[in-house]
Structure 1
Amino acid sequence: MSSSDIFIGETIGTAILILLGAGVVAAVTLKHSKARDAGWLAITFGWGFAVLTGAYLAGGVSGAHLNPAVTLGLAIQGGTEWGDVPLYLVSQLFGAMIGAVLVWAVYYGQFRAHLTDPEIVDLQPVDDGMVDQKAAPQAGPVLGVFSTGPEIRNAVQNVLTEVIATVVLVLAILTQGLNDAGNGLGTLGALITALVVVSIGLSLGGPTGYAINPVRDLGPRIVHALLPLPNKGGSDWGYAWVPVVGPLIGGALAGGLYNLAFA
């Protein structure tokens, strides 16, 4: 597998993942969206289908990691060369940012209508730093479209939740076996992984919104900070380390557990 294969596959696959995943959150969240208030089931299944689509498109090109936690787990397990890891991570972050910009473009009118509605704007905190505990669920009126946030702000619990959920995801991927290229998911693996993501969302997503993917959270959060959205509020950088560190720990633990129990 060439460096260009990794870059193209991971960039496109992750961009599609975020476009469809963050897109379903926008559809459910924003005013003047036909899917507004469709609820948690729509979000969890939307993210599952987003994973399925991104993994299916990129599987034959780059192995469809689409997630640094998966890349790390595969490197520890032995299915991915350590020398390829930096390129995977950079490509995934770039793709996540592209996907977030595309969501903004698709829902441009809805973003503007939502963020100029007095009922919505009045809910946002003013500070761009650490968000007040009581205001955290409304931290930036549209931040939840781009990134995750906790319902109860407790760093230990939040990290532990992300670690456990990511171990489930990465271990489920590793125990499926690898595709013919030896570095990722085949077509059936993409479907199984998508269903696992839906299960994680339904069962473990309540506390933190189940990032389970560092670039899924960090890339769109950067885009949220940069986009010219009126009255968008802060990007909650005080929490941003949790959905990066937690999934990376989870991916590493899953790789080690696989080698101990399944190899």
Structure 2
Amino acid sequence: MRGPHWLALFALILAAWAALYAMSIPAELRAAGRAYGTGFWADLCNLTPDAAGFARMALMWALMSAAMMAPTALPAFATYEDLSHSGAETRFSALVGGYLVIWLGFSVMAAATQLVLFRAGLLDPFGSSASATLSAGILAMAGAYQFTPLKDACLSKCRAPMTFFMQHYDEGPFRNGLRLGAVCLGCCWALMMLAFVGGVMNIAFMGLATLLMALEKLPDIGRWLTRPLGVALLAGAVFVALNGI
């Protein structure tokens, strides 16, 4: 992983994490919001999704997607660059651009979902679930998805990126980036939706989720992680449903 293009990618990832950290809300403000209610936020500043507006919410999700998903794709990006020795066109920026286009589309849909859930009273201003039923449902959905054939099919491609790229490299780097992004989305969309349980602006949750998604794509580690993680998420859903938290 040498060259200015790698430095640019790492700079992008670090900048996205820095922006998310700056946007995250300190614990003391969260506590104040719980103590004083929604009026506290209206008087303090425009922090709610309603006030931020759809465009800024989509930008926040785009930053989160770049920060969390680009690191999980680093082995695939490096594998694609290795194909340059075969004489194929392997323009790195086009590959990464195609990959991020898919996650930009996901960000738009996630922002729309957050706004709808917030206006329905199911999310608090920080993007955390305000409903035990919603939390249990998201946990159950993410847990069940871990056992689906689609999840397995997408993970198999992420775990063998050379084979995946060799099948499609003649389509060019941008379309390969789109394909890689789509496969990555198929692996991770349900785990990303757990942000509505852990908190959309919860840096600790983002870090843990990024680590789990990165490990899940590694062939020697991931096969031992996917189903146990699914069991843990389903157990969490039952616990939340029974305890109403």
TM > 0.5 fold call: no
TM-score category (smaller protein): 0.3 to 0.5
> Comparing both structures, which one devotes a greater share of its residues to helix?
2
Bigger-Rg structure (1/2): 2
TM score, norm. by length of structure 1? 0.33
TM score, norm. by length of structure 2? 0.34
